[in-house]
Amino acid sequence: MFNIAIDGPAGAGKSSIAKAASAELGFLYVDTGALYRTVALGALKQGLTPEDKEQIIALLPDLDVTMKFVDGEQRVFLNGEDVSEDIRLPEVSWAASTVSAIPEVRTFLFDLQQSMARENNVLMDGRDIGTVVLPDAQLKIFLTATPEERARRRYEQLKDKDGITYEEVLADLNKRDYQDTHRDVAPLRQAEDAVLLDTTDMSFDEVVEAIITLAKERFS
């Protein structure tokens, strides 16, 4: 199997870029952030706060987290219910970042991620894919951009929906990146053998093209 790992901070455009690149390459796109979001949603639905570490660990055996691919698009399920839209709520972003620092949560989701990559050519994105989940991926990319540029892009997507300000978006991104980078287990960092793609001054198409070119070099 051919595996591509893409890691990077929040708002680097990983999912939209990964979607476009995987479609062109004919790879399955696996968004691992969606799995952490599903666990976070499960905890919130039980009335827990993301800081309730012990209760969240105790809840894990009762959480059935699965994913299915419908027309090549990933859907995530919590105890059989399709929660693919609910996990995008803003409060779930922060909750996902917080619960993802719990080692038992990471272990809980580990096999699911690895088995997807064993059985399919995948392009998988997240925070620890190149470092922990798929250390043998044939191509690893660390996708980033300045915090200001990432916040600007996210603000453009959100401003009509949420009435949120650019400053709030920037503060949320910085807070989440800090937490994801400073946790003890599998923190966000660039794998030593990853290619760094700083997309601050690149267009969407240029980034997708750069990934396709790297993939074709590695896989031909």
Residues that bind ligand DC (CB under 6 A): 10, 32-33, 36-37, 93, 96-97, 100, 126-129, 176, 180
Shortest distance in whole angstroms from residue 105 CB to ligand DC: 9
Gyration radius of the chain over CA positions: 17
Nearer to ligand DC, 181 or 213 (CB): 181
Shortest distance in whole angstroms from residue 36 CB to ligand DC: 4
Q: How far is CA 77 from CA 41, 64, 85, 97, in A?
A: 11, 8, 10, 19
CB 149 within 8 A of CB 169: no
Tokens of 4: 């591509």
Shortest distance in whole angstroms from residue 129 CB to ligand DC: 6
Nearer to ligand DC, 142 or 180 (CB): 180
Q: What is the 3-state secondary structure (H, E, C) of 131-195?
A: HHHCCCCCEEEEEECCHHHHHHHHHHHHHHHHCCCHHHHHHHHHHHHHHHHHCCCCCCCCCCCCE
Shortest distance in whole angstroms from residue 220 CB to ligand DC: 28
Shortest distance in whole angstroms from residue 117 CB to ligand DC: 12
Nearer to ligand DC, 23 or 185 (CB): 185
Closest listed residue to residue 192, CA positions, set 27, 30, 7:
7
Cα dihedral 51, 54, 60, 65, rounded to 10, equals 10
Nearer to ligand DC, 25 or 30 (CB): 30
Nearer to ligand DC, 25 or 124 (CB): 124
